[in-house]
């Protein structure tokens, strides 16, 4: 992984809450604010999926949100990467027995990077982002996203 080269380009992320408890969402924002400051690498949250390289998904995907998740993912331009943050998006976690789940996330859209934890620490999220950068680099030289 050539981190310096990758960091020539800023990574823009769109955050999608598919029914999380807010814990992971708060940690994403904590990752971007001064203590952990992911923004110094140009990583920032954008307001539209059409501008994003990475989709950050939190939550176990409730049935109301499944279709919206599909649509948001489809709106993103390639090469794109989807990253699940938090155990409940990985497997349903503590909510796995609920009647209202369409998820976990990888049942709905293809997922590239998983960050486990409930909630994952900001350091873990940063590690996930580094993995995403490596993956995006590979996608750019032609690896297919499937």
Interaction site with ligand SF4 (CB under 6 A): 20-21, 23-24, 58-59, 86-88, 93-94, 118-119
Does the protein bind another protein through residue 70 (CB under 8 A)? no
In order of 88, 113, 137, the CA distances from 134 in angstroms are: 25, 11, 5
Q: Give dist(CA 82, CA 1) in Å, integer.
A: 19
Least Å distance between CB 114 and ligand SF4?
11
- Residue 135 CA to residue 89 CA, distance in Å, equals 20
Pull the structure tokens for residue 121.
Answer: 């620490």
Window contacting another protein (CB under 8 A); options: 3-11, 43-51, 75-83, 108-116: 43-51
Q: Nearest distance from residue 117's CB to ligand SF4, in Å?
A: 7
* 88, two tokens: 């409940």
Residues that bind another protein (CB under 8 A): 14-17, 19-30, 33-35, 45-48, 59-60, 62, 64-65, 68, 72, 88, 94-95, 97-101, 118-119, 121
């Amino acid at each position: 992984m050539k981190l310096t080269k990758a960091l020539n380009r800023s990574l823009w992320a769109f955050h999608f809450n598919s029914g999380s408890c807010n814990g992971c969402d708060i940690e994403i924002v904590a990752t971007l604010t001064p203590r952990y400051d992911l923004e110094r690498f140009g990583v920032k949250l954008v307001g539209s999926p059409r501008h994003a390289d990475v989709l950050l998904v939190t939550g176990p995907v409730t049935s109301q949100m499944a279709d919206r998740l599909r649509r948001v993912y489809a709106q993103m331009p390639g090469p794109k990467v989807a990253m699940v943050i938090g155990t409940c998006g990985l497997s349903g976690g503590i909510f796995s027995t609920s009647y209202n789940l369409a998820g976990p996330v990888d049942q709905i859209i293809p997922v590239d990077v998983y960050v486990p934890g409930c909630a994952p620490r900001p350091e873990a999220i940063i590690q996930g982002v580094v993995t995403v950068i490596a993956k995006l680099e590979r996608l750019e030289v032609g690896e297919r996203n499937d």
